[in-house]
Amino acid sequence: MATQFTIEGLKATIEGKEILKGINLDIKGGEIHAIMGPNGTGKSTLASALMGHPKYEVTDGNVTLNGEDVLEMEVDERARAGLFLAMQYPSEITGVTNSDFLRSAINARRGEGNELSLIKFIRQMEGKMKELEMNPEFAHRYLNEGFSGGEKKRNEILQMMLLDPKIVVLDEIDSGLDIDALRIVANGVNTMRSEDRGFLIITHYQRLLNYITPDFVHVMMQGRIVKSGGPELAERLEKEGYDWVKEELGIEDETVGQEA
């Protein structure tokens, strides 16, 4: 079945403040969508709400993945259903090695009785780490502990590659990356492009989109998608900034849920 991810009228609050004010988005397998927008417009909230972060409360709307109600699911069920979020700020967990964590995650996805053998797991992990030009020693380090910003982001991409999700949300995966790391991360994403996988890339810079060409570009302001277009929209935003969008739509303050 072709992947179909649908967001309809999604509203979400944090500590009682409404941040998402009705998001509509349709992502099919094989498509790459980019959501752009200045800081504070609700982009990361969208990513967190989709994954089910406990701090965000969804107050209205529907999200379905291949017809299944995502919002009804616990966080781990969403992941096992095929949703993956590469986080902007991945947690550090002392005492849990990266490889133990990865193996637990893969086996949770595969289900009991269908676990990956240790040998196969190591082979897969080492292969993907090589593609991402990661130091093999990172497998034995504690999860994200003492990783630089760029190393954490690569580790997120490593997880994406090993978990083989249906819908990938990348939340500011490009922040804190130098040009080499950006290229490596983008290559990782590009090798994962496939007909049955959809991507939602959240960024406020165009530069990632120089490496990963999106099919659709959406601009987010005030907790809504205010403008959609093709790759040319991203290029115009890069050249001209966001002011013309605000002017066109009569928006003065593009942020949402922030104290004046």
Partner 1 sequence: MTTQTILPVNHEALAAFSKSSGEPAWVTEIRSKALELAAGLELPKLEKTRLDRWTLDNYGKLRQGAQTSEELPASLSSLIDINEHSNLIVQRNSGVVFTKLSPELTAQGVIFTDLETAVREHGDLVKKHLFTAIPAEENQLTALHAALWNGGVFLYVPKNVEVEVPLQAVFLIDDASASFTPHVLIVADSNSRVTYVDNYISGDLNQAIVHNGAAEVFVKAGSKVQFASVHHLAGQITDLTYRRAVVENDGSIEWIIGEMNAGDAMSETLSVLRGNGSTSDAKVIAVGSGSQKLNLTTKAVHFGKSSDSQMITRAVMREESTAIINGITKIEKGATKANGEQTEKVLMLSPKARGDANPILLIDEDDVTAGHAASVGQVNAEQIYYLMSRGISRAQAERLIIYGFLAPVVSDIPLEQLQNQLQSLVERKLGQ
In the complex, the residues that contact partner 1 under the rule CB under 8 A are: 51-54, 74-76, 78-80, 84-85, 87, 90-91, 93-96, 100-101, 104-105, 108-109, 142, 159, 163
Instruction: In angstroms, give the least distance from the CB of 96 to partner 1.
Output: 4
Instruction: In angstroms, give the least distance from the CB of 232 to partner 1.
Output: 33
End-to-end CA, the chain: 47
Nearer to partner 1, 33 or 78 (CB): 78
**Residue 248 CB: number of other CB atoms within 10 A?**
10
**DSSP single-letter state for residue 104:** H
Instruction: In angstroms, give the least distance from the CB of 115 to partner 1.
Output: 13
Instruction: In angstroms, give the least distance from the CB of 257 to partner 1.
Output: 20
Q: Which of 208, 159, 167 is nearest to 184 (CA)?
A: 208
Q: Which of 68, 43, 48, 44 is nearest to 58 (CA)?
A: 48
Whether the Cβ atoms of residue 5 and residue 33 lie closer than 8 Å to each other: no
Ranges of H-type helices in the chain: 43-51, 75-81, 98-110, 118-131, 149-163, 179-192, 231-240, 243-249
Helix, strand, coil % over all residues of the chain, rounded to 5 = 35, 30, 35
Instruction: In angstroms, give the least distance from the CB of 100 to partner 1.
Output: 7
Nearer to partner 1, 54 or 67 (CB): 54
Sign of CA dihedral 59, 7, 24, 88: positive
Instruction: In angstroms, give the least distance from the CB of 132 to partner 1.
Output: 17
**DSSP single-letter state for residue 91:** P
